[in-house]
Structure 1
Amino acid sequence: MRQVTTILGELLKIFPRYEFEKLEKQHQSNRYTKYYTGWQQLVTLLFAQIGGHDSLRGIETSLGMHSQKWYHLGLKDIKRSTLSDAMKNRPYEIYEGLFYKLLDKCRSVTPHHRFRFKSPLFSMDATVIDLCLSAFPWATFRQRKGAIKLHYLYDHSGSLPAFMVMTDAKRHDVRVAKSEERLDFHLLPDSIISVDRAYLDFEWLYSLEQRGVWFVTRSKKNIQYRIAGQHKPIRNKQVSRDEKIELIIEESRKKYPKALRLVCYTDPQTGKVYEFLTNNMKLAASTIADIYKSRWQIELFFKWLKQNLKIKSFLGTSRNAVLSQIWAAMCYYLLLAYIKFQTKYHGSLQVLTRMIASVVMEQRLLIDILSFNERSIKKARDPVPQLALF
C-alpha cells in the first residue's frame, strides 16, 4: 500500500534536494550546526510562506501542532530562538542558488509567449519594498524611511523571473542593468527586452545592440535627433510615424552611433500617443507597440508577489534574514508555477495558493487537490482518523 504523505511533503519532493545539499556544502551553511540544518530551515520557511505566518512564535506554535507528521519532512525540532539564529547567520546564498536550480526545472515545462515571433521576450523593472528604518537601519533609503529594491528580468515565456537581484533602494535601475554580468548571461543574441524610460541610457542600449539583443523602450521628450528616413510604409491607423532617426547631440551620438527606429503609436482606448525607441528594424510597428504594452505583465507580477507572498513582514531584522525570506518566497513562487505548468492546471496561481494553504498538513496526494475548487476544498479532510475530544 502506497504511503500517503502530507501536501507539504509532496511539495518538498519537487525541490532538487541533492543540488540543495551541494549548495549547503559550498557555503558551509551547516557549520557549527547541531541539528537545525539548512534543509530544515527551508521546510520551516516554506511552511511559513504557505500558511502566511509572520512571527517566529506563530511558526513554532503552528508546526508544533503537527509534530506527529514531522517524520517525513526531515524536521527534528523547531524553536523560535533556533530559527532566529539561523535566519541571522545561515547565508542567504543557499536559497538564492536553489532559486536558480528550480528556475531551470521550470523552464523545461513552461509554454512560449503569445507573440508569433520565436525570439525570447523579456521585460526588466524594479520594485521597492518598504522597511521600518528603526528596525532595519542597514536599509537606509531616505532620512526617515528604509527600503530595499528588487530588480527583475521577467521572462514572458511562463511568466517567470529569469533574473533577480536585491540592492539598496537608492541604487538606480540602469546602474544595476549595466553592472550585472548575470543579466548578460540571460540576454542572448536575438532576445528582445522591453524597459521603461528609467533604463534609457544610450551607452547601455548600444551594448545590447553590439550583442545582438533587441530592445524596446519609451522615448523622452528632450531627446534631440534628426530624421534619417521613413522606415516602412504605414499600414496601421494607430501608427502615425515609423521613422529611422539619428542622435545629433555629440555626447549621445558617441554612446549610440547607429540609427534608431522611432515609432509613434496612439492607444485606441485612451487616445494617448506613445513614442517608442527600438533597434529592431524587422518587426511591424504595431508589434513594437504590443511588445511594450506587454511590459505591464511585470507590474502585475509585482502586485501578485506583494499580495500573496510574505515579503512585506519579516522574521528577522538583519539583511541576511530579509534576503533569506525573500529568496525562499521566490522559490515557492517557482514551485507553484512548476505545478501549474506540469499538471496543466487551469485555475489561477492565487486559487492554487489558497487551496494548498487549506490542506498543507493534511495527508493527501498533491495531484488530488488540483481537481478541487474553492468550494470543494472546504470538504477535504485528513483521511487518517483523529482522536475525538471528550
Structure 2
Amino acid sequence: MDKNTLFSSFGKWVAPINIMKLQQRIDETDQDKYVKKLTTKAYLLLFLHAQLQQREGLRAIADDVLSKKFQQELGLSSISPAQLSRKNNRVEPALLEEVFVDLVQQIQRVSGKACSLRKHIKIIDSTTIGLCLQKYKWATFRETKAGIKIHLRLVFASQEDVYPEKISLTCAKSNDRTQMESLIDEIGAMYVFDRGYVDYEKFDEYTDQGIFFASRLKDNAETRHLYTFKVPPESSVLSDSMILLGTPQKRVD
C-alpha cells in the first residue's frame, strides 16, 4: 500500500472512534490540561497509524509526522521521540480502555443477527510484552527482564470477521489460569484456548454450568478411553472419543 492510499484511507479507518465522546472525557479528566502540542487525540491517532504500519520504536513513529498529509490528520507539524515517551507516561489508560469498549459495542450492534452461530465461538490466548527492568521493576519477569502479559478474548463471528471482545493485563509471570474466571463467563458459548489455561477443576465447573470449551492438552496429561465414536470417512476429524481426563487423584469428572 503506497503512502497516498494509506493517508487517504486513514480517516475512514478511524471514523468509528467517537471523537466527541473521547474529547468530552478528556475535558472531564483534565487529561490535556496545559498541553500545547501533542493532545491525547493526536497521540491516539499517531499510535493507531504506527500499529497499522508496524513501526518499531518511538523514533520511527515520530518520523511519520513529517508527512504533510498526516500532519493535517494530527493537527501538528513535528514531534520528537522524547515527547512521545513523556506522553506515554501521562496518558490515562482508562481513557483508551473506554475507546476500546465503545468500539467493541459498535461491532456487536452491527454484527447482531447477521452473524451465524459462530459468534458464540470465543478464542482466548495471551502474549507477553517485554519491558525494561530498570524502569518497570514492579513487572519483574526474570532476573534481567520485566514484562506484562495481555490476555485477549476474540469473537470468531465468521471467516472474515474476528474481533477482540475483552482484554485483561497482568504481570508476565502471572499464570494464564488466573484470568480464566474473567475471560470465560458466558453460558452456552464455546471457548477455545491453549494448554496454558488447562485447569481440571475449572473444566468441571464449566461442564456443570453449560459452558463449552476445547483445549490442547499438556504433554503429560493422562487419559483413559471409555468409548470411541465413528467418524465419517470424509470428515476432517481424526478421532472422536469419550475419555476420562487426569489421574484418579486429580481428574475431570
1:101 aligned partner, one-letter code: D
Q: Give CA-to-partner distance per residue, 1:121-162, whole Å, 9 cap, x none.
A: 122121223344356544421112333222122222122222
**Matching residue of 1:41:** 43
For the residue of structure 1 that corresponds to 2:125, the secondary structure is strand
**Matching residue of 2:186:** 188
Name the CA shift for 1:44/1:224 in 2 (closer, same or farther; >3 Å).
closer
Q: Between 158-167 and 74-83, report the one with greater CA deviation.
A: 74-83
> Gapped runs of 5+ residues in structure 2?
1-6
Please state which structure has a larger fraction of its residues in strand. Answer: 2
Q: How does 1:1-390 map to 2 (within 5 A)?
A: 6-25=8-27, 27-66=29-68, 70-71=71-72, 73=73, 75-76=75-76, 78-80=78-80, 81-107=82-108, 108-109=110-111, 112=115, 120-134=120-134, 136-157=136-157, 158-178=161-181, 180=182, 183-184=183-184, 187-220=185-218, 221-223=220-222, 227=226, 230=227, 233-236=229-232, 242-243=241-242, 245=244, 249=248, 252=250, 259=253
Name the CA shift for 1:16/1:133 in 2 (closer, same or farther; >3 Å).
same
- Provide the aligned length of Structure 1 versus Structure 2: 237
**Matching residue of 1:274:** none
Name the CA shift for 1:205/1:134 in 2 (closer, same or farther; >3 Å).
same
For the residue of structure 1 that corresponds to 2:15, the secondary structure is helix
1:176 aligned partner, one-letter code: Q
Contact 1:23 1:97 in 2 (8 A): no
TM-score (ref. length: structure 2): 0.73
1:160 aligned partner, one-letter code: Y
- Computing the radius of gyration over CA atoms, which structure comes out larger, 1 or 2? 1
For the residue of structure 2 that corresponds to 1:127, the secondary structure is strand
Greater RCO structure (CA 8 Å; 6+ sep) = 1
Contact 2:224 2:243 in 1 (8 A): no
**Matching residue of 1:296:** none
Contact 2:149 2:170 in 1 (8 A): yes
Q: CA RMSD in A?
A: 3.5
Q: CA deviation at 1:241?
A: 5.6
Contact 2:225 2:241 in 1 (8 A): no
Name the CA shift for 1:240/1:8 in 2 (closer, same or farther; >3 Å).
closer
1:45 aligned partner, one-letter code: F
TM-score (ref. length: structure 1): 0.51
- State the alpha-carbon separation in 2 of the partners of residues 188 and 17 from structure 1: 31
Q: Give CA-to-partner distance per residue, 1:318-345, whole Å, 9 cap, x none.
A: xxxxxxxxxxxxxxxxxxxxxxxxxxxx
Contact 1:19 1:101 in 2 (8 A): no
> Gapped runs of 5+ residues in structure 1?
260-390
- State the alpha-carbon separation in 1 of the partners of residues 98 and 104 from structure 2: 10
